[in-house]
Amino acid sequence: MQRRSFLKTGAFGATAAALATPAIAQDVRQWKMVTAWPKNLPGPGVAAQMLADRITTLSGGRIEVRLYAAGELVPGPGVFDAVSEGTAELYHAVPAYWGSKSKGILLFGSQPFGLRADEQVGWLYHGGGQELYDEMYGRFGIKPFLCGNSGPQWGGWFRDEINSAEDLKGLKFRTTGLASEMASKLGMAAQAMGGGDMFQALQTGALDAGEFIGPWTDSALGFYQVAKNYYWPGVGEPSSAEECGVNQEVFNDLPDDLQQAVSFACESLYNPVWTEYTTKHARSLRTLVDEHGVQVKKFPDEVIAAMGEAAKEVIADLREDDDELVRRITESFVTYRDSVGAYMTYADNGQMNARAGVMGY
């Protein structure tokens, strides 16, 4: 797939038919899904189409979901409002994009030094997170579901090497969500933009560095052509959840079996999406190194330590937020992270460290 083929935004425009009230003919509901992604962008664009198809299939064709890529019906950053206002029935995006609505929303997507993909969904299902997720998004007339995860994101593409925390100061850096808050506390000029815009900004020097997702998606966007230093670990986003937001009134109007179909379509895609990212990130990383000369580098310990201190400040700010709901979400997240994190020292962390010593057997 050529990079330009999916960087193009839609040429269809918002037609009168697309904006019309959803039709219910012979018990068939025609839903518009708006997304934050170019059509079929490896990773999130592919996952969005999978979700649209799965809702249609699991509903027995009683809900027909048509996907509109970013810019075809509304701009990518506008999908939350489009669903909240009823212009579209549902969207596919990430919580990290909605910090202007409430800082509390950002915790449901990713958190600096926070939850892994399995822990994130564990918090929602077993740690009280889903109830808080519903309460927050209910303010905007949206019913939210997690429907995938990219797994650990990377530290980013840097035009120049990073040898100390001082080297970060003043860098123009693309990131999103709470990672932006962390970057700002480190003295970086954090900027939010789409993947295509990030490529162009790195190319022209308008950005010094930036992170998007990981090797699979980043390869397709061509970042290796304009920045060769690829840093890990991506402590700003130890995982990044993808979400589906459904207009609350539309969801409430569904019969019980169709509500279950929508819910299960989202839930059932979480692991397939996450494991596809993991598998294709691993393959793409080898290609980046072997064929494109990418330099994979670990952030110095000093830099990681500075990021950790900045992350603590980010969470401290959330704990003192004026919004009582934001404070409750933050305490719920911290309680779950610390509990499961302590256990992982003996479980997954121990297993992964032990396995690293016998790789290649």
Average pLDDT over residues 287-300: 98
Residue 66 annotated as lining a ligand binding site: no
* 12 pLDDT higher than 50: no
What digits encode the pLDDT tens for the residues 78-116?
999 999 999 999 999 999 999 999 999 999 999 999 999
Domains parsed from the chain with CATH numbers: 3-152+239-279 (3.40.190.170)
161 vs 26, which has greater pLDDT? Answer: 161
Span 127-138, mean pLDDT? 98
- Residue 18: the pLDDT is 40
Question: Given a cut of 50, is residue 344 above it in pLDDT?
Answer: yes
pLDDT in the model for residue 27: 85
Range 146-174 average pLDDT: 98
| Predicted pLDDT at 10 | 39
Q: What's the mean pLDDT in 15-37?
A: 69
Q: Where are the beta strands (DSSP E) in the chain?
A: 24-25, 28-35, 63-68, 90-93, 142-149, 156-158, 172-174, 189-191, 209-210, 229-232, 241-247, 295-298
At 16, the pLDDT band (50, 70, 90 cuts) reads very low
Q: What is the pLDDT of residues 43-57, one digit of tens each?
A: 999 999 999 999 999
- The reply, when asked if residue 324 is annotated as ligand binding, is no
pLDDT band at 361 (very low <50, low <70, confident <90, very high): confident
pLDDT at 6 > cutoff 70: no
- The SS3 assignment for 304 reads helix
Tokens of 317: 């700010």
173 annotated ligand-binding residue: no
- Say how far apart CA 251 and CA 256 lie, in whole Å: 10
How many beta carbons lie within 10 A of that of residue 271, not counting itself? 14
Longest alpha-carbon distance in the chain: 64
pLDDT mean over 291-319: 98
Which residue has tokens 């994190």?
341
pLDDT higher than threshold 80 for residue 244:
yes
Question: Is residue 15 scored above 60 in pLDDT?
Answer: no
Q: What is the mean pLDDT of residues 126-131?
A: 98
pLDDT at 17 over 80: no
* Ramachandran angles phi, psi of 321, nearest 5°: -60, 150
DSSP 56: H
Model pTM score:
0.91
Q: Tell me: pLDDT of 330 over 90.
A: yes
Q: Which residue has the higher pLDDT, 18 or 160?
A: 160
Q: Is residue 188 scored above 80 in pLDDT?
A: yes
* pLDDT at site 9: 40
Q: pLDDT averaged over the chain?
A: 93
In this prediction, residue 359 has a pLDDT band, given cuts at 50, 70 and 90, of confident
Q: Is 174 annotated as a binding residue?
A: yes
Is 212 a known ligand-binding residue? yes
With 80 as the cut, is the pLDDT of residue 325 above it?
A: yes
C-alpha 137/C-alpha 236 separation (Å) is: 23
Nearest in space to 41 (alpha carbons), one of 235, 198, 192: 198
pLDDT value of residue 26: 64
